[in-house]
A and B are shown apart, each in its own frame.
Chain A
Amino acid sequence: MANETIDSEDRAVVERLYAGLQRFAAVVAPAGIEGDDLLQEALVRVLRRRRLCEIEYPSAYLKKTIVRLASNQRRKQASGLRALDRWATSHRDVGRDTYPSDLIDLMRLAPGERAVLYLAEVEGYRFDEIAQLLGCSPSAARKRASRGRKRLRAVVTMEAGR
């Protein structure tokens, strides 16, 4: 972007897509990170390179960016420097404890798995469409969904047997 501000056309795109993207980001975001923060970062990354109104499928583009950011963020959380951050973070009202107990298992899935499950189960996309949206092969999308379901099923089965 030349002047680093958002013009009315791009603003209109965001207004149109906000509700759906916000929910998507909320599902994909790693523990302790707000969906809006992830969406904000995705918008900044995209707008630094190009205008939203010039992108053919801005929703898909932003969703792909959100998933990548969420994956990077999760890796950072897992790494050593974040271990120190977690100490400080534990003094604030963020993190796993803010999620109801039945959602913690869902939060254990990788962002990419949650993204595929959300797009398939909630938004009703087919796997070939999800593959296009997220920039992976249909078999990879299917694999992510299957892996996610399998992990959740294991938990549900285990809890039912208690």
Chain B
Amino acid sequence: MTHEVKRQLERLADQSRPVGVDVLMQRVERQLMGEPTTGLVSRKVGWRPVLVYALTCVVVLVIGAGTWVGLTRPDSSFRRAEGEAVDRWGLATLDLPETMAEVAAVFESMPDHLDGIPLTSDPTGGHLVEYGEDGPSLIVQVASEHLVEDGARMTPAEALRRMADADELDVVGYVVDEPVVWLHATYAAADGSPDTGRMLDLGAADGGFIFEFGAPTTDALDAIVAAFIEAVAALP
């Protein structure tokens, strides 16, 4: 068994196609200087293809399946699943941070521990707050980079409506036509592993940020959302 594991690990390492140290260093330098380059950052897929996809779907639905839309889309702005109550967090009245400085202030005032799990990220600067490392973790992060691509902007309301319709999430509930928009869903890991979790995406309808919460259980999600709400309420 050990030999087989070793063989697989070596094969996995062999699968990669190294670009070579010179190319890598050029990319690193370009990235450090803020110039466009390839790598993880540029591999993020922006909203443009999603927008095109969304518009295509809308056209198809309007032209070819109008009746289906009328039958299956609820009139209200949220839907329920599994009898779970929606907005049990009281998100509708939340006064969310509007600037990066406010976001940073909120993230920096998140507690050092959550349900006994220690803070493992550096919240300074306000992009990610993470609790736990080895086991399941709880995170809240700013996902606003997904909202702008080559100048084309998608509001959080538009983005969450798109997500609610994407059929790739098991949506528990969502609100997309109120001043505060949110979407609550369960997800499975993209790589086919058995990991699943709960997520909540939250933002001001026309704001610049989507806050994304992830946790392994409903209770853990509630805990990190409650801590976030408390930190938001403490904003001057």
Q: Taking A22-B18, A103-B12 as contacts, is the C-beta distance between A48 and B32 under 8 angstroms?
A: yes
Q: Are B16 and A83 in contact (CB under 8 A)?
A: no
Q: Are A33 and B43 in contact (CB under 8 A)?
A: yes
Tell me the minimal C-beta distance from B15 to chain A in angstroms.
7
Q: Mark A8-41, 1 if CB is under 8 A from B, else 0.
A: 0001001100110011111100111111111111
Q: Taking A31-B190, A83-B187, A104-B192 as contacts, is the C-beta distance between A47 and B134 under 8 angstroms?
A: no
Q: Are B24 and A40 in contact (CB under 8 A)?
A: yes
Does B204 touch A at the CB level, under 8 Å?
A: no
Q: Which residues of A contact B49 (CB under 8 A)?
A: 87-88, 91
Q: Which residues of A contact B169 (CB under 8 A)?
A: 80, 83
Q: How many A-B pairs fall under 8 Å by CB?
A: 196
* B2 to A, closest residue via Cβ: A121
Tell me the minimal C-beta distance from B57 to chain A in angstroms.
11
Q: Taking A77-B191, A152-B5 as contacts, is the C-beta distance between A14 and B25 under 8 angstroms?
A: yes
Q: Are B24 and A77 in contact (CB under 8 A)?
A: no
> 8 Å CB contacts to B: which residues of A47-82?
47-48, 69, 71-75, 77-82
* B139 to A, closest residue via Cβ: A75
Interface of A is mostly: helix
* B160 to A, closest residue via Cβ: A80
Tell me the minimal C-beta distance from B18 to chain A in angstroms.
5
Does A140 touch B at the CB level, under 8 Å?
A: yes
Q: Are B187 and A36 in contact (CB under 8 A)?
A: no
Q: How far apart are the CA atoms of A85 and B146 in the complex, in Å? A: 9
Q: How far apart are the CA atoms of A82 and B161 in the complex, in Å? A: 15
Q: Taking A26-B12, A31-B190, A79-B214 as contacts, is the C-beta distance between A84 and B168 under 8 angstroms?
A: yes
Q: How far apart are the CA atoms of A153 and B3 in the complex, in Å? A: 12
Of the candidates B5, B45, B134, which one forms a contact with A89 in the assembled complex, judged by CB atoms under 8 Å apart?
Answer: B45
Q: How far apart are the CA atoms of A19 and B53 in the complex, in Å? A: 40
Q: Which residues of A contact B168 (CB under 8 A)?
A: 83-84, 86-87
Of the candidates A34, A39, A122, which one forms a contact with B13 in the assembled complex, judged by CB atoms under 8 Å apart?
Answer: A122
Q: Are B189 and A77 in contact (CB under 8 A)?
A: yes
Tell me the minimal C-beta distance from A148 to chain B in angstroms.
8
Q: How far apart are the CA atoms of A38 and B38 in the complex, in Å? A: 11
Q: Are B199 and A44 in contact (CB under 8 A)?
A: no
Q: Which residues of B contact A117 (CB under 8 A)?
A: 5, 9
Q: Which residues of A contact B1 (CB under 8 A)?
A: 149, 152-153, 156
Q: Are A149 and B25 in contact (CB under 8 A)?
A: no
Tell me the minimal C-beta distance from A52 to chain B in angstroms.
11
Q: Are A40 and B187 in contact (CB under 8 A)?
A: no
Does A133 touch B at the CB level, under 8 Å?
A: no
Instruction: Name 4 extra pairs, CB < 8 A, besides A27-B12, A88-B49.
Output: A5-B33, A15-B21, A80-B185, A80-B201
Please name 17 pairs of A and B residues whose Cβ atoms are closer than 8 Å in the assembled complex, sorted by A: A18-B24, A23-B13, A26-B12, A33-B43, A72-B128, A75-B214, A81-B163, A83-B166, A83-B169, A84-B166, A88-B53, A96-B191, A107-B191, A108-B191, A121-B6, A122-B6, A136-B134
- Top 7 closest pairs, chain A to chain B, by CB: A26-B16, A83-B168, A77-B190, A23-B13, A88-B49, A121-B6, A18-B21
